[in-house]
Chain A
Amino acid sequence: MNFSIDLFHSFSTLQGIQKIEANLQIPFGEYVSISGISGSGKTTFLRLISGLIPPQNGTICWGEQVWHDTKNKQCIPPQERNIGMVFQDYALFPNMNTLDNILFACKKKIEKKYLQSILDTLGLDNYLTRYPHQLSGGQQQRVAIARALISKPALLLLDEPFSALDETLKKTVQSFIYEMHQQYSMTTLVVSHQISEIKPYAHRFLQFENEKLIDYPYIEKNNFTVQGILISKEKSESEMSQVTLLYEGKIYQSPFPSSELEKLQIGDKIHFGLFL
């Protein structure tokens, strides 16, 4: 079963008209990284697939369930999509304390053990009665993560979920999210500026380039198995740039760390991940 996205959307920004185009098939249970330069539409893309903004054109299907179909005027509201989302600015409810914020996301009765494991791992046990304004940025971010995970959603959308965490905590939270993702087969889409944060976990890398969401070949956790010849490189402002490689007479595009790009010369042989 796949999460199929085929959409087009345009909207006005201060810089002019911004477009988003995506055509993807994400197998259920995958961990997907989404990157792109600031303002490329990453957050809007998450809002489009969650149903918070209806796409102007296209279809979004969760397996056989049609979430959005512009032609047939079909649209399932966000309430019925079983999504957990961490917003970039957390969106915690100011009128609720930490525990109420987390429990508000529960759609049915939850096991105490499950709740406790989330609170323990995210280090929230001592802040349960505190209100959002009494928490630091990092603590608020952890509450937002706990809130997104508590209902074991089928689709987990994370918008810059580690930005306010220190290095030690970041690693703990990253591996906890990955553990939950695996244990409950949550399809997980993570927007991040720092690909290195997600690289060890992601099955697939999506990158916004020229208003299009490019689906890069499947990379098996740093296992770069083929060697291609560099035929062109395009430096991007984000952490990852794009290189074009020739391998067995075919042309492939692959993300490449921008910081390393200058060291590359056209004709160099480069290992890159390829799903054959």
Chain B
Amino acid sequence: MEENFYQTLFLTLKLASLTTAILFCVSIPIAFYLSRSQGILKSILEIIVTLPLVLPPTVIGFYLLLLLSPDGYIGFIFNELFDVKLIFSFPGLVLGSIIYSLPFMVQPIHAGLEKIPKQLMEASYLMGKSKWQTLLKVQLPNCKPAIYTAIALTFTHTMGEFGIVLMIGGNIPGETRLAAMAIYDAVESLNYQQANQYALTLIFITLVFLGFVHLWRKKTTN
């Protein structure tokens, strides 16, 4: 087994977990806003959220490369203020993954929130509960299956990310080298056995994760 095998897998899992956790926190206010609002702002936000779903990863990767590079707007700010280099680094990968996986987290939660009967929120308001209290105590607990789906989609999607990683992360072992890149490298060097090891491990982890999510969903639905 390759020396860096576990390191690459660990990095892949770390990126997927971090991206999922951050996106979960970011997406709830976005989905809440989308489920409550009407009008042009909602439409604009919906389009922005959907964009990563339809654009080729290389297009997003290309513009992220420009923005995150030390001369780019975001890269410059991070470099000057926090002395953090975003391009070809793990923090840059996290940022890229958050942008690319945004629709996978927002859209299921948004759909779940919209499905909740309006009267439940109204009943909560009449009981003196604020909008945030209602979100936390009534809306989110009643759209758990949608939240589980969002977590599963985001995590598994980030695990297999390739295009953006290639554009903004490169292939630095221990820093930005993820499982998908390792498979690509192994295939290029005709090392099919190693590619198979990575691919089977990814399939296994994804299946186990989806199995757990399916069980949670089933438990909640019951």
Please list the residues of chain A having a beta carbon within 8 angstroms of any beta carbon in chain B: 47, 50, 52, 77-81, 83-85, 87, 89, 91, 93-95, 104-105, 107, 147, 151
Contact = CB atoms under 8 A, between A and B. Distances in A.
B142 A79 contact: no
A254 to B, nearest CB: 34
30 contacts: A50-B126, A52-B125, A52-B126, A78-B122, A78-B126, A79-B125, A79-B126, A79-B129, A79-B130, A80-B128, A84-B126, A87-B119, A87-B122, A89-B119, A93-B120, A93-B123, A93-B124, A93-B138, A93-B142, A94-B120, A94-B142, A95-B138, A104-B124, A104-B127, A104-B137, A105-B127, A107-B127, A107-B128, A147-B127, A151-B127
Contacts of A50: 126
Q: Quick one: which of A50, A81, A93, A151 has the most chain B CB within 10 A? A: A93
A77 B130 CA distance: 10
A52 B117 CA distance: 14
Contacts of B130: 79
Nearest to A108: B128
B interface SS class: helix
Interface string B27-47: 000000000000000000000
A43 B191 CA distance: 70
Interface in B122-177: 122-130, 137-138, 141-142
Interface of B: 117, 119-120, 122-130, 137-138, 141-142
Contacts of A95: 138, 141-142
B60 to A, nearest CB: 37
A223 B92 CA distance: 81
A83 B126 contact: yes
A34 B137 CA distance: 33
B76 to A, nearest CB: 44
A80 B130 CA distance: 10
Contacts of A94: 120, 142
Given A50-B126, A85-B126, A107-B127, 7 more contacts: A52-B122, A52-B125, A79-B126, A83-B126, A93-B124, A94-B120, A151-B128
B113 to A, nearest CB: 14
Contacts of A80: 128
A53 to B, nearest CB: 10
Given A104-B127, A107-B128, A151-B127, A91 B122 contact: yes
Contacts of A89: 119
Contacts of B119: 87, 89, 91
Contacts of B141: 95
Contacts of A87: 119, 122-123
B217 to A, nearest CB: 15
* Residue of B117, B119, B127 with highest tally of chain A CB at under 10 A: B127
A84 B122 CA distance: 11
A96 to B, nearest CB: 8
A269 B90 CA distance: 91
Nearest to A100: B137
Contacts of B120: 91, 93-94
A268 to B, nearest CB: 45
Contacts of A107: 127-128
Nearest to B116: A94
Contacts of B138: 93, 95
Contacts of B123: 85, 87, 91, 93
Nearest to B123: A91
B128 A91 contact: no
Which of B120, B124, B126, B127 has most chain A Cβ within 10 Å? Answer: B126
Contacts of B142: 93-95
A241 to B, nearest CB: 32
Contacts of A84: 126
A85 B222 CA distance: 29
B78 to A, nearest CB: 41
A91 B130 CA distance: 17
A107 B141 CA distance: 21
A50 B124 CA distance: 13
A147 B125 CA distance: 13
Nearest to B119: A91
A252 B51 CA distance: 66
